[in-house]
Amino acid sequence: MTITALPEIPAGTDDLSIWPASTTRLPHGGLAVGGVSLAEIAERFDTPAYVVDEGEVRERCRTYRAAFPDSPVLYAAKAFLSRAMVRWIRKEGLGLDVCSAGELELAVTAGFPPERIVLHGNAKSPRDIETALRLGVGRIVIDSPAEIARIAASVGPRGHQKVMVRVVPGVSAGGHDKIRTGTEGQKFGLSLTDGGAQHAIAKILGQPQLELTGLHCHIGSQITEVKPYVVALRRMVGLMARVRDAHGIVLPELDMGGGHGIAYRPGEPALDLTALARKLRTELAESCAAARLAVPRLAIEPGRAIAGPAGVALYRVLAVKHTGEKVFVAVDGGMSDNPRPALYGVRYAPRLVGRHSTAGVRTATVVGRHCEAGDVLAADVELPADIHPGDLLAVPVAGAYQLSMASGYNLVGRPPVIAVHEATARLLVRRETLDDFRSRDVGD
């Protein structure tokens, strides 16, 4: 199909600001992403389905490399990982941050260099550690005192492994309590306040087979302000100076994690990447100068900010129900393919695609098909008043923490992932089927 974009519609009447940059309007209310009609994707691959714009992913990788030219940029695999994503990340020169043996093995078997991978996790299993050591992962981030002895024992007396320590800097940041990880009282990291981080550092330095390369911190997710990162960095440099004074070593690396916020609806704030890069570099140089400390190599770990805006979720309307003054638009997916609204209260901006409506708008709540009252995908959003079963809804900013958090609830099956690029659509991850569920159920 030849894609012909329509003339621009005046700003404010049809906002595509949060959609992939390749998005174009088509006749009769359609949209194309990566040169491919979303309606045609729905017809070819069925719904629900995830669409990922390869060009958007790769351009966002390049934007990060330009903003942090002298820093390792590690893509956070937990946001979304597939073999194709691994190849895109590798080709754009990024490293990888993984949280399990599964993510690690997928990346390495897809051709990603293990020395450019960092393994995280607050409770690494024996399999996680064994896999990391067997494959030669670049760094293991230690998250608890017990891991030190376990990793050292697994390495063996003649082995060698580079490690970092995850530090809780006492900084509150993030879009929701459940995704704030820089403060006391949550499961991640070792406290700067109670001395846990300092104790772990001393213990690691007593293990000759472990090489402490630096410190790591991750203060939260969906952060849209630069200041919390600056405060956290200042405290991390202070700890590095104390490590030098106490142990006579200068740590060469400082990983400031990710959590870079993006807009899920038009008008919402997003983290200013240029400002972040500039202020982190300035603060790092000034803090190190004040402490008479050599400037460590800065690393960052974006995930959502690379994958999120590149994804679009497609749903087919199954029912429209009027209950009192409420209008519910039920679709063929829901919390099994996107649990984030139920977990964090995330707000999305669904849009009718595939036909042009001349009706006015009405406020409606888009709900899923699952047997939970909390199965709400988008509450109180504006949709055409004539929306009806069979209509196609597209939800932008669906590339992160959807498939990676999807479940098998109600045995609905997880949706496929379709990549679009240069007017071509191709299947990356197939739809989960009843046969998949049956093959795992080995009981009688």
91 contacts: CB under 8 Å, gap ≥ 6: 58
Question: What are the CA-CA distances from residue 228 to residues 180, 194, 261 (Å)?
Answer: 12, 20, 12
> Which among 23, 34, 30 is positioned nearest to 424, based on CA atoms?
34
3-state secondary structure of 132: helix
Contact indicator for 256, 169 with CB cutoff of 8 Å: no
Instruction: Confirm if 61 and 94 have CB atoms less than 8 A apart.
Output: yes
- Per the structure block, which two tokens stand in for 4? 């012909």
Which H helix or E strand runs over 244?
helix 227-247
Q: Cα(262)–Cα(264) distance, rounded to whole angstroms?
A: 6
d(CA 133, CA 129): 6
d(C-alpha 338, C-alpha 336), whole Å: 6
Q: Which residue has the tokens 């995704």?
A: 179
3-state secondary structure string across 16-38: CCCCCCCCEECHHHCEEECCEEH
Nearest to 336 by CA among 379, 307, 375: 375
Report phi then psi at 201, rounded to 5. -60, -45
Residue 428: strand, helix, or coil? strand
**DSSP-assigned letter for residue 249:** -
Q: In the annotation, is 217 catalytic?
A: no
Environment class of residue 311 by beta-carbon count within 10 Å: exposed (0-12), middle (13-18) or buried (19+)?
buried
The SS3 of residue 119 is strand
Catalytically active residues are: 371
